[in-house]
Structure 1
């Protein structure tokens, strides 16, 4: 049987579902990265960021929101404004994550496209993002979605690959 449908919903940075999904993302990275992945509680989500949640009807009482008609966050991602050095309004995709139970369903591409649309809606004409080389599925997604590899644009100590995409 196919998984239940997923809906995307905008949410504030301090929405408990956003925070819980980002914590799951951080936990997964901590397990996958050689040497782990650590962020402070203050750096978990960006107060100036705009977030999307991927939600599906709840099926597991052990998830963040349980069953009985509740919804489970199976994905999250945010965009935040970056200073531009070339007069192109630029956003950065941050904390994009899809739960392992939803991978392979096209949700990553759907979420990335929706984050690009959100960046456009906010007036940005380019998006940047970074990732770790351990995340082969993310690297493949960004390549398939038309992102170009670029030089390092930030000081994120965990980032090893950098991407950009024009939105116009």
Structure 2
């Protein structure tokens, strides 16, 4: 890692935390620190389940409980059992909490306005563009890609969303029973591997390997949730699958894809996959690809 890049990140963090008032216990002049104010925003007018708050804010249970107790002591927050599941606790704003939410919202709006007002028109455009880019890249850096159980609830949710999208995009629709198999038992070592991409505790993508023979594997179930596209997740999934393939003794990967999936076609082409003749009887495939020499590629990284 480039040391100058690391130092720039640290400098950026210091500048931002100072400018937006994170170091104060009086965030937005409302008499409480940023953490509690942010928690009020996240609970919002509709309330929020505690488990969702933990995942959304990346908080451990103890710290979240302490902040909630503080807000409860201030008369801003109450808790109740979720209507659909009595085992789940839900945080809700009291009437006083709703008034405080509105006040925080006004103060936050005023602060954002003041931040932009001191800049010229060109500088404002540059700042907004830079903020949007940083936000996107920060989201991308929060994505975690790890091996997972292909029979898990998260995996099943990804498969179902993937199949629904193929049904919508393919000219002839899509029936998973008619395509080449990639069943859970085929996607666990040594037969294969399944990777899950998660963002803020939510599954947002997946990819799998299926071992076909000595040194040969096949890529299956590559999918990224529409609202997580543009974060480079598909590229990271492909890179990770190739590295795992080498560890599993594979040196060649194959795959097939439909002509409607132009993004997939572009992804594989720019990563060195070349089009080859048909190698299976998948009725939904229009293109077949192959990449050889994976071991050489990984060793040169």
Q: TM-score, normalised by structure 1?
A: 0.84
Query: Of 226, 231, 235, which aligns to 1:105?
Result: 231
Q: Distance in 1 between matches of 2:149 and 2:251?
A: 22
Return the offset for 1:83: 3.0
Higher RCO (Cα < 8 Å, 6 or more apart):
1
Counterpart check, 1:165 vs 2:291: yes
Q: Name the residue aligned to 2:11.
A: none
Counterpart check, 1:77 vs 2:222: no
List structure 1 segments (4+ residues) > 4 angstroms apart after TM superposition: none
| Larger relative strand fraction | 1
Q: Name the residue aligned to 1:10.
A: 147
Query: Of 33, 36, 56, which aligns to 2:173?
Result: 36
Counterpart check, 1:22 vs 2:148: no
Q: Name the residue aligned to 2:195.
A: 52
Return the offset for 1:44: 6.2
Q: Which runs of 5+ in 2 are unaligned?
A: 1-134, 188-192, 296-301
Q: Distance in 1 between matches of 2:151 and 2:233?
A: 23
Q: 1:44 to 1:121 in 2, by over 3 A?
A: closer
1:79 match: secondary structure: strand
Q: 1:94 to 1:44 in 2, by over 3 A?
A: closer
Q: Is the 8 Å Cα contact of residues 19 and 45 (structure 1) preserved in structure 2? A: no
Q: Is the 8 Å Cα contact of residues 158 and 203 (structure 2) preserved in structure 1? A: yes
1:140 match: secondary structure: helix
Q: TM-score, normalised by structure 2?
A: 0.48
Q: Which runs of 5+ in 1 are unaligned?
A: 58-70
Q: Is the 8 Å Cα contact of residues 182 and 220 (structure 2) preserved in structure 1? A: no
